[in-house]
Amino acid sequence: MAEASKSKITVFLLCFLLGWLGVHRFYVGKIVTGIIWFFTLGIFGIGTLIDLIMILTDNFTDAEGNKIVGWK
């Protein structure tokens, strides 16, 4: 599994500020789940909280399965 080309700090900030709209998921290429997040307000906030935890623990991946790591 390779490292994603997306910035972890960008993904974190998008999730923290606009996670309820799914913007962070669109950014990493997860379009379908981004749409779901958009229409359910981040799965009623719980999904956004889980995504924040996954980002902080280096377990969040992009659409190709590459982990988003490193605060570059």
15 assigned to some structural domain:
yes
Contact by Cβ (8 Å): 42, 20: yes
**Would you say residue 63 lies in a domain?**
no
pLDDT bin (cut points 50, 70, 90) of residue 72 is low
At 4-62, the pLDDT tens digits run 688 899 999 999 999 999 999 999 999 999 999 999 999 999 999 999 999 999 999 99
Does the residue 23 lie in any domain?
yes
On whether residue 64 sits in a domain, the answer given is no
**Domain span holding position 17:** 9-56
Residue 1: the pLDDT is 60
The answer as to whether 33 is a domain residue is: yes
For the chain, what is the domain count? 1
